[in-house]
Structure 1
Amino acid sequence: MKQHKVVFIHPDLGIGGAERWVVDAAMAVLQKGYDVKIYTASWDPNRCFPETKDGTLKIVKPPFMGIPRTIFGKFQAICALVRCFLLTIYMLFVEQTPDVVIVDAVSSPLVLLSWFGIPSLFYCHFPDLLLAKRENRSYVYYCYRRWMDKLEEYTLSLAKRIVVNSHFTAQVFQNTFPELAKKSTISVLYPSIAMKTHDIVQLDNLPSKTIISLNRYETKKHVDLLIHAVAYMRDAQWLTKDQWADLLVVIAGGYDTRVHENVACLHNLQSLVQQLDLTNKVDFLLNISDEERQSLLSSCKVVVYTPIDEHFGIVPLEAMAMKKPVVAHNSGGPKETIVDGETGLLCQDSPEDFARAIVKLLLDEKWAQKMGEEGFLRVKQRFSREALAHQLDDILSELKTSKDTIDVDKKSKTQ
C-alpha cells in the first residue's frame, strides 16, 4: 500500500509557539501513518524541539539557503517571503510530488504549489498584515507594506484549504480578508499538546510558591505586567513575610541574539526588575530545553500568561496538561482554552487584577489543585494530540481525494 507523503514548509524551526504547532501537527500526521518531512530555511540543533533533533521527524534544510533574515534589520517580511519561495523550489526538485503540503507563517509557497497542482493547507496563526508596525513610518514603507498586504491576500487565495488556530483568529481573519472569507471556508483547528505526565524531573530547589511565565522575549508578550503585579502584591502586603520569602518568579523563554527585539525586551525586563527592587524575586532563563520546561511547569504553583489578544497561546494548555492553574489575560485564545474559575482565572489588563488572582491561588492550595485537575481533563478531551491527528487526517484525506480526482481527469483528457 502506498504511503502518502505530507510535507510541512516553515521558515524558521526554532522553539516558539508556531514552531511547536508545526512539530505537534507533524507528529500527529506521522501517527496516522503518513511519510512526513519538514522543510525549513533555518534550524539550529542547539535551539529546537527534541522531536526535530532525535530523528523522530525528518528535517530538510537546504545547503544553499543564504538569504538573510533581515536586510540591515529591515525587510523581515520580504526576506521570509523569498526564503520560503526558494525553499519550495528546492522541495519541488527533491520530492516526488507530495500528496499534500502544509504551509504556515509565510504564504509565498502557495503560488508554486498552485502552479504544480499540489493540494495545500495553510495554517494561519494570525494575518501577517496585522503584525506589521505602521505607526510613524515613511511613505516608502507604506507603499512597501501595501504591496506585501496585497500579495498576502492573493497568495492565501491559492490555498486549497485555510484553517486557523482559534475562533478569535477566525473572526480577525474574516474581518481582515472579507472577500477571501466569502470564497473560502475558514475552519478552526486547535493546536494540541502531548499529555506527558511521567519521566518528569521535579525541581526540589524551587521555593514552594514559584510562579512561572513562559514566552519568547518579545514586547508584545507583555511580561512586564507580571513584574508590576508582583510589585503590587508586595506593596499591598497580601502575603505574610514568610510567604513573601517563599515566593519566586521564573521568567523563561526563547531568546535569539540575532533578533534585536529579543535583546531589547530582555534588557527592558531586567531594568524594570531592578527599578522595582525585585532582583531577589525574579529569575530569567533563556532557551530552556524541553525537559527543563516540563520540569518548571510540573514544579511550580501557578502559571501566569500575560499576552493581550494572543491568537491562541500554547502555554495555558501546557500548564493545564501539568495540572497547574493558569492566570491569563481575558482576551484572545485563552478565553477559548481556559474556563474562568474552573481551570484558571482570566484577568483584566491591570497589575492589581493579576496580583489578586495570583495571591488567591497561592493561598488556597486545595482550590488551585482542583483547578489543575479540571484543566488536565479539559486538555485531554479537547486539545490532545489524538484530537489533532483525527481532525488533520480528515482534512488531508479530503485534499488527497481532490488531487486524485484532478489526476484522473488529466489522465482521461490525455488519452
Structure 2
Amino acid sequence: MDRRLNIAFVHPNLGIGGAERLVVDTALGLQRRGHRVVLYTMHHDPAHCFEETRDGTLEVRVCRTRLVPSSVCGRLHILCTILQSLALARRVATDPAQYDVLFVDQLSAPIPLLKHAHAHILFYCHFPDYLQARRDGAWRRLYRAPFDLLEELTTAEADEIAVNSRFTQEAFRAAFPRIARLPRVLMPALNLAAYDRPPDLADPALAVLRTAKRLVVSINRFERKKDVALAIDAFAALGDPTACLVVAGGWDVHVPENIEHLVELEARARGLGLRTRTVAPRGSGAAALALLPAGAVRTPTLPDDGGSGSGSSERLAETDVLFLPSFSENQRAFLLSVARCTVYTPANEHLGIVPLESMYMRVPVVAADSGGPRETVPHGVAGYLCEPASRDAFGAAIRRVLAAPDDAWAAMGAAGRERVRRDFGLDAYTARLERIVAEMLARPQAGSPVLAAMAVALVALAAAAALALARWV
C-alpha cells in the first residue's frame, strides 16, 4: 500500500493475553510500514501489560470514566463494560485527529458511535461473545437477550469484519444469521524478531525457574474455560519425578475469577499429591500476596535473592507444579527456551497464540484436537493433538514428547519453527491486512443511520432492563 494511513485501535483492556498480543503486534506491523498508529483503551496498567505499550514504542491513550463502575454489586459486568466502551468511543469520535481506519476488536457495541469519527471500521472478531456467555436459567437468558441482539446489530455496522481462524468463521456464521456477509479469515501473526531475542539470563526473576528437571509448560489466563486443570490431572497421571509442570498465565487482582481459579488449581494439585509452589508477580504488595494461595513467595529482585529465601533451584527440585501468575516477558522467553513440552488445554479455542509461540521456539506442543490448534499444529510433526478434555490422551502425548530421543524431539521443534516462520510471520500478516484495508477503503462506508440509532437505543433499553432484572436474578 503506497498510501500512509492514520489508524486507531480501540481495545477494551490492554493487559496480557492472546487478544492483547494480537493488537500490539498488529499495531507494530502497521507502524513499521509507515502508518501512524494510536491505541485507545479503557484500562492500561504499566505493571500488567506488554512492554511495547509501556516503553513508548506504541502510543497509548487511556479513557476512563468514573461515572460507570466495573460492576453493580458484583453483577451486570457486560452492561457496565458496554457503557464504558461508549465513553471510549465518544473520546475517539471527538478526537481532533482524523483517522482513516479504526481497528476495533473484542467489543462491537461502540461501533455505531465510532461512525461519527468518519473513518472506515474494521472489526476483528476473536470469537462471538454470544457463544461464550452463560445462559443457565430463564432469567439469565432473558437478561442476555438484548446484549446478544446488540452484538449482532453492531457487528453488522462494521465496514469489514475479520476473524482469526476458519473455526471462528463457522462459529460466526452460526451465531449471527442476520449478517449475510462472511467475515474474512485473517490468522494472527507473531512478531518473530521479539522471539529471536534471547532471554536476559542475569534477570534475578529467573532464579525461581532454574532446575535440572524437564519442564512441561502451560501458559493461559487463570480462567476456568481454559481447562488448565486438565494439564494438572494429566501431569499427575505421569508420575514422573524428573519433570515439573509450570502453570503460567495472566492473573489480575481486579478479576475475581483469576484470583479464585488460581487458588482452586493449587488446591487441586495438592489434592492429587503434587508438591506445589506459587511465585507472586514481581512488585506484589501485601494486598496482592493475600490473594494468592497460602505460602506464595515473592519473585526474586536481587541476584542473590532466591525468592523469600535462598536456594530457589533446590526448592524447585522439590516442586512438582510451579504456579507463575502474571509472569514477565523475560520469564516467558526463558520458559520457552528451556521447556521440553508445552501443553495447551482449552477445547474449541478459537485460535491460540501459545502453540504458535511454542512452535517458533522449537518446543513441541500438546493441544486439544479442536478449534484453532487443529489449523495451526501439524499433528505428529510439531506436536500432538489430543481428544479434548481427556486426561489419558493428554498424559500419553506428554509422555511421548518427554520420552522422545533428542534427535526426534529436535526434529519436531524444527518442523514447528518452520511452520510458524513460513505462515505466521508479522510481515506477511501485515501485508494481508493492508490488502483487506485497501479493499475496504475503496468501498463506501457501510452502516445504516437508522440501525446505528437503534443500536444506541438498545443499549439504553438494555441498561434499564438489566438494572430492573438485577433485583431478581
Would you call these one fold, judging by a TM-score over 0.5? Answer: yes
Counterpart for residue 334 of structure 1: 373
CA distance in 2, matches of 1:147, 1:308: 28
Change (3 A) 1:185 1:114: farther
Matched, 1:154 2:149: no
CA distance in 2, matches of 1:387, 1:79: 37
Q: In the TM superposition, what whole-angstrom CA distance separates every residue of 1:173-208 from its partner, at most 9, and x where no partner exists? A: 00111220x2x2311111111222233246682334
Range with bigger deviation, 290-299 or 309-318: 290-299
Which SS does the other structure have where 1:178 is aligned? coil
Range with bigger deviation, 154-163 or 84-93: 84-93
Q: In the TM superposition, what whole-angstrom CA distance separates every residue of 1:67-102 from its partner, at most 9, and x where no partner exists? A: 332222221211121111110111122242210001
Counterpart for residue 285 of structure 2: none
CA contact (8 A) 1:69 1:76 kept: yes
Range with bigger deviation, 66-75 or 385-394: 66-75
Matched, 1:353 2:350: no
Superposed displacement of residue 130, structure 1: 1.1
Counterpart for residue 85 of structure 2: 84
CA contact (8 A) 1:251 1:284 kept: yes
Q: In the TM superposition, what whole-angstrom CA distance separates every residue of 1:290-347 from its partner, at most 9, and x where no partner exists? A: 1111111111110000011101110000101101100001111000010000011001
Counterpart for residue 367 of structure 1: 408
CA distance in 2, matches of 1:261, 1:254: 11
Letter in 1 for 2:113: L
CA contact (8 A) 2:94 2:117 kept: no
CA contact (8 A) 1:5 1:36 kept: yes
CA distance in 2, matches of 1:148, 1:323: 42
Range with bigger deviation, 126-135 or 192-201: 192-201
Matched, 1:343 2:382: yes
Matched, 1:210 2:215: yes
Which SS does the other structure have where 2:80 is aligned? helix
Show structure 1 runs of 5+ residues with no match.
Answer: 235-243, 406-415
Superposed displacement of residue 219, structure 1: 0.5
Counterpart for residue 101 of structure 2: 100
CA distance in 2, matches of 1:129, 1:175: 10
Matched, 1:390 2:431: yes
Letter in 1 for 2:434: D
CA distance in 2, matches of 1:72, 1:3: 47
Q: In the TM superposition, what whole-angstrom CA distance separates every residue of 1:24-75 from its partner, at most 9, and x where no partner exists? A: 1111111221100010000000000001011110000025455332222221
Superposed displacement of residue 113, structure 1: 2.7
Task: Give the structure-1-normalised TM-score.
Answer: 0.91
CA distance in 1, matches of 2:365, 2:354: 9
Counterpart for residue 229 of structure 1: 234
Counterpart for residue 121 of structure 1: 122
Task: Give the structure-2-normalised TM-score.
Answer: 0.80
Letter in 1 for 2:395: A
Counterpart for residue 219 of structure 1: 224
CA distance in 2, matches of 1:333, 1:404: 31
CA contact (8 A) 2:130 2:148 kept: yes
Superposed displacement of residue 402, structure 1: 3.1
CA distance in 1, matches of 2:365, 2:138: 41
CA distance in 2, matches of 1:257, 1:189: 32
Which SS does the other structure have where 2:196 is aligned? coil
CA contact (8 A) 2:100 2:119 kept: yes
CA contact (8 A) 1:217 1:265 kept: yes
CA distance in 2, matches of 1:70, 1:263: 17
What aligned pairs does 1:228-307 form with structure 2 within 5 A after superposition? 228-234=233-239, 244-279=240-275, 280-307=319-346
CA distance in 2, matches of 1:362, 1:157: 47
Letter in 1 for 2:105: D
Please report the RMSD computed on the Cα atoms of aligned residues, expressed in angstroms: 1.9
What aligned pairs does 1:20-35 form with structure 2 within 5 A after superposition? 20-35=21-36
Letter in 2 for 1:390: A
Q: In the TM superposition, what whole-angstrom CA distance separates every residue of 1:259-314 from its partner, at most 9, and x where no partner exists? A: 11111111110111110111130000111111111111111110000011101110
Counterpart for residue 399 of structure 1: 440
Range with bigger deviation, 396-405 or 35-44: 396-405
Which SS does the other structure have where 1:250 is aligned? strand
Letter in 2 for 1:397: A
Counterpart for residue 296 of structure 2: none
CA distance in 2, matches of 1:95, 1:320: 43
Superposed displacement of residue 5, structure 1: 0.6
Superposed displacement of residue 403, structure 1: 5.7
Counterpart for residue 413 of structure 1: none
CA contact (8 A) 2:159 2:445 kept: no
Matched, 1:130 2:95: no
Q: How many residues align?
A: 393
Superposed displacement of residue 229, structure 1: 0.8
Range with bigger deviation, 38-47 or 221-230: 221-230
CA distance in 2, matches of 1:207, 1:58: 41
Which SS does the other structure have where 1:123 is aligned? strand
Change (3 A) 1:78 1:377: same
CA distance in 1, matches of 2:65, 2:171: 37
Letter in 2 for 1:187: R
- Percent identity over the alignment? 38
